[in-house]
Structure 1
Amino acid sequence: MLIRPLAIALAALPLVSAAPPPRPPRIVSINPCIDAVLMHVADPAQIAGISHYSQDPRATSIPLAQARRFAATSGTAEEVVALAPDMVLTGPHVAPATIAALTRMKIRIVQYPVPDTVAESEEQVRDIARVVGHPQRGTALAARIAAAARPAAVTPVPALIWQSGGLVPGSGTLSADLLRRAGFRDMSATYGLKKWDVLPLEYLVARPPRVLLSTAAADVGEDRMTSHPAVRRLAGRITVAPYPTRLMNCGGPTIIAAMARLRQVRGGFGA
């Protein structure tokens, strides 16, 4: 009989335990827009640190109570290294000295550009979720963004987003894409403006949009431009609607809130 010798031989083999699943990477983000995505796609225990902007009530795209659960840095290499991350996520604007120091420390750096369209933002969300180890969460968040930003089947209303001092996002920006999807026609191209250009008051008065989405009206009530007598005289031809600056700061989940506000304003003008 071979059964008993075979059993003895099998019993003598060393036990091989299954390898533990890989540990999700420990992340430090030094970009507030990436912070907002991480809140949706990473485990809280993975997030070793976030940008200090996310703890600033004037700039954050994250509820403050949530942002304040995490350590914050100003993005210096010393602060980041002290948090012992496996990976640092950042936007396009980071000090070369910080990149050089993190590279010397063999800490992986992943940089993301500023998205100019909803589609680019969705792809960025999926990639951030992938690198932090939770691709399915990125897919789910991207689907929510796509649903929130579905283009409206309405007649476009001429509109302009206006920041303090007359700064306008302009064509080719995410803000312009959101305006179009919400049922507006971005007037920046009519004025010949480039990306993030300044619109002289005279141009606005000569060819006013139907809607002026003012970040100043939302953040401080009014500024020198929106309170100018020439703008006030346009009251019968133009609607000034508050539009918080925080809705312009980022893509990702911020798109959901931005589209809700834009659709609310557009709803006041019918189909």
Structure 2
Amino acid sequence: MLYLGIGTSVEAAPSRVVSVNMCTDELLLLLARPEQITSVTHLAQDRHEFPFWRTGRRYPANDGSVVSVAGHRPDLILTMGGVARDRARLAERIGAEVVAIPFPQTLGDVENSVRTVAEALGREARGRQIIALLRHFTAERPDNPREVTFLSDSGYSFAESSLGAEWLTLAGARVPDGQGVRVTAETLLLDPPETVIRSDYRRGQTSRGQYWPGFRFIEGVPDTRIVYTDGRRWTCSGPSLLPEIRRLRAVLAR
């Protein structure tokens, strides 16, 4: 993680926190006290994109830039990935600390993200609660995971070593050996899976994914079970997945 533009006391918890990335929106809304939150991105207010959109709409929206939050005079800016030099300089100019979280690659990285943001917010106890829940799910993962094919828009899936595949193990599922990040329609035709976990991300809207040949085929296979999942929670693959993992675990166990 990267800290830039220190403008607050390490003893005092920040009182005007903004997030300029949808994935840190998730962490902010899960970890902060409501009165600490000053602004979230416009994506956090979009019901098609974000699972907590109702909560996100309680706060002013920004467009993901430091310029768009400068008027709020934040003392802490949360983001994910790198921080461009001009953004860092602007944050320093307005007296804000920037905490940039790396994109998580493992469940351990998810823990680290929660811990880092919780510490920055002065909400360590809340962070420990979420980490403890994640570790409980990990300790109680089913011993004999069911092989499933996860399908997102246009047939995109999870490779064996991905964060998404790690989350699936907590639900009692595993991706097929040697599967890459995209499943072809030909693969489904030759070897139809017993279970498909299909993302419902923007399912109600017209998109090319809905007309991907693989979906048309697999929905006609009588021996294939299709389980829908809230695709918005998989976008960041952060702690908002915990209740969805609990639900999937129960569904797959039946």
- When normalised by structure 1's length, the TM-score is 0.78
Q: CA deviation at 1:46?
A: 1.4
Alignment of 1:92 with 2:81, yes or no, is yes
Cα-to-partner distance string for 1:94-143 (whole Å, 9 max, x where unaligned): 66643443244442211112222323212211211101112111111211
Q: CA deviation at 1:72?
A: 1.3
Tell me the equivalent position of 1:239: 225
Task: Tell me how far apart the structure 1 counterparts of residues 33 and 201 of structure 2 sit (CA, whole Å).
Answer: 37
Tell me the equivalent position of 2:35: 45
Letter aligned with residue 43 of structure 1: R
Alignment of 1:141 with 2:127, yes or no, is no
Please list every run of 5 or more consecutive structure 1 residues that lacks an aligned counterpart in the other structure: 1-20
Cα separation, partners in 2 of 1:80 and 1:218, compared to 1, 3 Å: closer
Cα separation, partners in 2 of 1:230 and 1:148, compared to 1, 3 Å: same
Alignment of 1:179 with 2:202, yes or no, is no
Tell me the equivalent position of 1:69: 58
Letter aligned with residue 254 of structure 1: S
2:210 aligned residue (212, 218, 223): 223
Q: Which segment drifts farther, 30-39 or 131-140?
A: 30-39
Task: Tell me how far apart the structure 2 counterparts of residues 148 and 258 of structure 1 sit (CA, whole Å).
Answer: 12
Tell me the equivalent position of 1:209: 193
Tell me the equivalent position of 2:251: 265
2:46 aligned residue (56, 67, 89): 56
For the Cα contact (< 8 Å) 1:92–1:111, is it kept in 2? yes
1:190 aligned residue (165, 175, 178): 178
Aligned sequence identity (%) = 24
Tell me the equivalent position of 1:14: none
Cα separation, partners in 2 of 1:203 and 1:227, compared to 1, 3 Å: closer
For the Cα contact (< 8 Å) 1:151–1:180, is it kept in 2? no
Superposition RMSD in Å: 2.6
3-state SS, counterpart of residue 248 of structure 1: helix
Work out which of the two has the higher radius of gyration on C-alpha atoms and give 1 or 2: 1
Cα separation, partners in 2 of 1:94 and 1:234, compared to 1, 3 Å: farther
Q: CA deviation at 1:228?
A: 4.9
3-state SS, counterpart of residue 242 of structure 1: strand
Alignment of 1:159 with 2:148, yes or no, is yes
Q: CA deviation at 1:229?
A: 4.9
Q: CA deviation at 1:83?
A: 1.0
Cα-to-partner distance string for 1:178-212 (whole Å, 9 max, x where unaligned): 1122221212x433x1xxx3322112222333211
Which contiguous aligned blocks of 4+ residues in structure 1 show a shift greater than 6 angstroms? Answer: none
Tell me the equivalent position of 1:5: none
Cα separation, partners in 2 of 1:125 and 1:234, compared to 1, 3 Å: same
Q: CA deviation at 1:40?
A: 3.1
For the Cα contact (< 8 Å) 1:28–1:85, is it kept in 2? yes
Task: Tell me how far apart the structure 2 counterparts of residues 171 and 97 of structure 1 sit (CA, whole Å).
Answer: 38
Tell me the equivalent position of 2:7: none
Cα separation, partners in 2 of 1:228 and 1:30, compared to 1, 3 Å: closer
Letter aligned with residue 104 of structure 2: P
Task: Tell me how far apart the structure 1 counterparts of residues 215 and 126 of structure 2 sit (CA, whole Å).
Answer: 47
For the Cα contact (< 8 Å) 1:27–1:88, is it kept in 2? yes
Alignment of 1:249 with 2:235, yes or no, is yes
